[in-house]
Structure 1
Amino acid sequence: MQIKAHVALIEKFYTAFSQKDAKTMAACYHQDLAFEDPAFGVLNHRQACAMWVMLLSGSSDIEISFKNVWSENEFGGVDWEAKYLFSKTGRKVHNVIDAKFEFKDGLIVGHRDHFDFYKWSRMALGMSGVLLGWTGFLHRKVQAQCAQLLSKHMAEHC
């Protein structure tokens, strides 16, 4: 029964994401959440919820799709895709993400998104992504910029 509940929770999260419903997404997260992805790094519950609000409010053209939802005991995963225009460059991005989850008390307590940062940087940044996307330098620079944007968003809206 728990496996079905975890699959339903992942489906609820990504259905809400596709409908740009950050409030429902946040309701799927446990207060002890640890989120991680290549762009934002490691975030806590408050930061992750603010990140989704920021991303969804700033991107009216985002398209989210998901498939291959699974769960086994306290773990689960999904393959999802995001299509959007990267606001900083106006370039089209089609990011393919593998998400892994951990569950606690019927909610998501661990959420880790994995994607090819180099591939993303080439789409989002163009030539600078082609030339530097494979380097730790650009990866750290993007994470620093994302952290700065999130801090600013949280200071203004949270």
Structure 2
Amino acid sequence: MSDLNQSQSNTDLIYRFYDAFNRLDAEAMAACYTEDVLFSDPVFGELRGREAGDMWRMLTSKARDFSVRFDQVRADERSGGAHWVATYLFSQTGRTVINDIQARFVFRDGKICEHHDHFDLWRWSRQALGAKGALLGWTPLVQNAIRAQAQKGLKAFQTGR
């Protein structure tokens, strides 16, 4: 496949991923990943392989008042990126979160082999946790507690299936 065709194919893959997310179709999202995908973000840290798909399965199954918008999609034969904004009700507090995210991708064999989401965890914690997040969300103690809770939730989801 030519570099131009591969670039278009990878661009289409990003669109397919976010279109599936907008439909809360975690299986279609996971199908965009290689079996050994590396995912990372400020909340879940690094997830590999099936864990990444399970994270999307968990998040989509719990999604309330959810929407996603995405733009700035770009890709070449090896890597790409997108900007996306998720709006949802954070189930633990009932607060609305608008999370503004920059995504970076690496492709292999027509699939996503690396997916790195970047966003401001303090901004997220101010929205999700309210006053506690605003006052303490920048501290390593609170950020580590957020990460631990996310990992605990993922493990519970994985064992509860």
TM bucket (normalised to shorter chain) is over 0.9
Aligned twin of 1:17: 21
TM-score (norm 1): 0.97
User: What's the Cα RMSD here?
Assistant: 0.7
TM-score (norm 2): 0.95
Displacement after TM superposition at 1:139 (Å): 1.0
Residue by residue over 1:106-149, the C-alpha shift from the partner in whole angstroms, topping out at 9 and shown as x without a partner, is 10000000001111110000011011111111111111000000
- Aligned pairs for 1:27-106 (under 5 A) are 27-106=31-110
Unpaired runs of 5+ in structure 1? none
Distance 2:66 2:138 in 1: 25
Distance 1:20 1:151 in 2: 20
What fraction of aligned residue pairs are identical, expressed as a percent?
Answer: 45
Do the aligned partners of 2:89 and 2:97 also contact (CA within 8 Å) in 1? yes
Displacement after TM superposition at 1:72 (Å): 2.5
Which of 104, 108, 114 is the matching residue for 2:112? 108
Distance 2:151 2:96 in 1: 22
- Number of residue equivalences: 157
Unpaired runs of 5+ in structure 2? none
2:80 partner amino acid: G
